[in-house]
Amino acid sequence: MGPWPSVAFTLPFPPTILSPNNRAHWAKKAPFKAAYFAECYILARQAIIKANIPPIPANTRVRLTLTFTPRRRMDADNAIASFKSGIDAIAKAIRVDDSMFDYIFYFLPADRAMAVIKVEF
């Protein structure tokens, strides 16, 4: 895609309370959203630093490949909406607005729930 290397890392699957099907009050969801954002930000930032990726211009197109392995059946739009805090954390970690992201999603069966992320610039 661009002159920068890609980086792949694994993030935990979002807590079930972040699902759009969960009708909990926003104030109840807020601490879970903040904690999930912080965890994803730290993991993404560590992966980017470890991969020695230089600063990326803010107008760079980013291809985000997400491989979801939910423990239970989940449709694509709920998985994506549940992962919104994770996407925001990745955007902050690479310092590129998420409006510049192109998405590719895969859903695979697995023994444990996780999201494997590949970021290409």
Write down the pLDDT at residue 1. 54
Mean pLDDT of the chain: 84
Tell me: pLDDT of 117 over 90: no
Cα three-residue angle 33-37-38, rounded to 5 degrees: 120
Write down the pLDDT at residue 14. 85
Write down the pLDDT at residue 17. 94
In the chain, the domains with their CATH numbers are 7-51+60-120 (3.30.1330.70)
- Dist. CA 26–CA 33, nearest whole Å: 10
| Local confidence band at 112 (pLDDT 50, 70, 90 cut-offs) | low
Reported pTM: 0.84
Which pLDDT tens digit goes with each residue over 41-58?
999 999 999 988 888 888
Burial of 88: CB neighbours in 10 Å, binned 0-12, 13-18, 19+: middle
